[in-house]
């Protein structure tokens, strides 16, 4: 019976190790994604360094536990009989006190060594530097570029350029996080935070809001597309704040997430064919100031509080095109 129990424990432990290995190999949320920016690489280095220590300590503790279980088992001794006692071991007690302290000191030293590369952006000026304003809203991300261009939920940047992010929020706390391009940076009302990244290869890198911010928090997904310089210039040319493209993106990112992509209603009321779409002044006031939770349990956040007049006009035109059938919107 005892051998059978031991075999079951051994098989269970082996299965757990295999599953952990598979999760690690497939990056099933167990390890950071492959880094594609210098600061993300430093975060990955710190993760693996600490993980190595934790794995080592786990193995030492578990092996020691098994050894003690085998070494000091009762060996036919009655359960009522007390086993041999070991009292005091000065060297062992000093070792298990000094060892953990030394390990923590090593981890702290390595972390402080990595921190400057995580926090401090590489020196860059002129053509090799891009500053993007990141605004966290309920429930979308808005990106504003140096020339006033705007995009919603999808940031586009040139490969290899140092991208400085100025991160703000006009409503509640959000958190900007694209794991492959760096760590989390909070967007806090009344405060401006900063971070950076340098995308090392073309691709699309997924991110999300990492701070619970309300009923549609799960919809605050984002992506960063790293493209060639020519593609970036083309993107900027099509994303002027008052363009049809930006109006459509704003409707999808800021309106449809709550009102439904067909305007059929979701956590917000149905807006397809709503007569308010004919009232530009009333629609402007609603987008700028929102509405308290009277008609709906959640109210409406001031989704357009920070929009320029050009973006507001483009969004109202897009709302009428998308949901205005029967209201004269066409």
Residues 6+ apart with CB under 8 A from 323: 263, 271, 272, 273, 274, 277, 329
Give the pLDDT score at 311: 97
Which of 90-104, 167-181, 226-240 shows the lowest mean pLDDT across its residues? 90-104
Name the residue with higher pLDDT: 58 or 27: 58
Give the pLDDT score at 164: 96
Confidence band, pLDDT 50/70/90 cuts, at residue 19: low
Cα dihedral across residues 10, 13, 15, 21: positive or negative: negative
Name the residue with higher pLDDT: 193 or 100: 193
Name the residue with higher pLDDT: 15 or 92: 92
- Per-residue pLDDT averaged across 263-278, rounded? 88
Report the distance separating Cα 134 and Cα 91, nearest Å: 56
Which of 48-57, 190-199, 241-250, 289-298 shows the lowest mean pLDDT across its residues? 289-298
Confidence band, pLDDT 50/70/90 cuts, at residue 273: confident
pLDDT, tens digit (0-9, with 9 covering 90-100), for 95-123 = 889 988 998 999 999 999 988 888 887 87
pLDDT, tens digit (0-9, with 9 covering 90-100), for 280-320 = 999 999 999 988 877 556 789 999 999 999 999 999 999 99
Percentage above 70 pLDDT, the chain: 87
- Per-residue pLDDT averaged across 189-208, rounded? 95
**Contact call for residues 140 and 210 (beta carbons, < 8 A):** no
Report the distance separating Cα 252 and Cα 109, nearest Å: 47
Please state, as a whole number, how many other Cβ atoms lie within 10 Å of the Cβ of residue 76.
Answer: 5
Q: Is the pTM of this model over 0.85?
A: no
Q: What is the mean pLDDT of the chain?
A: 87
Give the pLDDT score at 257: 94
Secondary structure string (H, E, C) spanning the chain = CHHHHHHHHHHHHHHHHHHHHHHHHHCCCCCCCCCCCHHHHHHHHHHHHHHHHHHHHHHHHHHHHHHHHHHCCCCCCCCCCCCCCCCCCHHHHHHHHHHHHHHHHHHHHHHHHHHHHHHCCCCCCHHHEEEEEEEEECCEEEEECCCCCEEECEEEEECCCEEEEEEECCCCCEEEECHHHCCCEEECCCCCEEEEECCCCCEEEEEEECCCCCCCHHHCEEEEEEECHHHHHHHHHHCCCCCHHHHHHHHHHHHHHHHCCCCCCCCCCCCCCCHHHHCHHHHHHHHHHCECCCCCCCCECCCCCCCCHHHHHHHHHHHHHHHCCCCCCC
């Amino acid at each position: 019976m005892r051998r059978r129990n031991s075999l079951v424990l051994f098989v269970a432990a082996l299965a757990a190790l295999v599953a952990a290995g598979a999760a690690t190999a497939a990056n099933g949320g167990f390890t950071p994604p492959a880094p594609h920016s210098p600061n993300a690489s430093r975060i990955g280095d710190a993760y693996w360094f600490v993980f190595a220590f934790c794995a080592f300590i786990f193995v030492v503790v578990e092996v020691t536990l098994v050894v003690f279980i085998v070494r000091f088992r009762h060996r036919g001794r009655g359960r009522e009989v007390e086993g041999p006692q070991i009292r005091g071991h000065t060297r062992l007690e000093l070792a298990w006190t000094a060892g953990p302290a030394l390990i923590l000191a090593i981890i702290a030293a390595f972390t402080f060594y990595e921190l400057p590369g995580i926090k401090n952006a590489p020196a860059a000026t002129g053509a090799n530097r891009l500053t993007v304003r990141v605004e966290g809203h309920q429930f979308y991300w808005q990106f504003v570029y140096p020339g006033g261009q705007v995009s919603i939920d999808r940031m586009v940047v040139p490969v290899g350029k140092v991208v400085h992010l100025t991160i703000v929020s006009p409503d509640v706390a959000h958190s900007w996080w694209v794991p492959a391009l760096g760590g989390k940076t909070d967007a806090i009302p009344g405060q401006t935070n900063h971070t950076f990244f340098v995308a090392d290869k073309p691709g699309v890198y997924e991110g999300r809001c990492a701070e619970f911010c309300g009923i549609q928090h799960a919809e605050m997904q984002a992506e960063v597309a790293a493209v060639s310089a020519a593609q970036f210039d083309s993107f900027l040319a099509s994303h002027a704040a008052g363009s049809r493209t930006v109006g459509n993106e704003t409707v999808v990112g800021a309106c449809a997430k709550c009102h439904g992509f067909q305007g059929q209603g979701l956590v917000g009321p149905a807006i397809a064919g709503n007569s308010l779409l004919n009232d530009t002044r009333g629609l402007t006031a609603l987008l700028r100031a929102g509405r308290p939770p009277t008609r709906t349990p959640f109210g409406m956040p001031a989704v357009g509080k920070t929009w320029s007049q050009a973006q507001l006009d483009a969004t109202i035109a897009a709302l009428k095109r998308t949901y205005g059938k029967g209201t004269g919107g066409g």
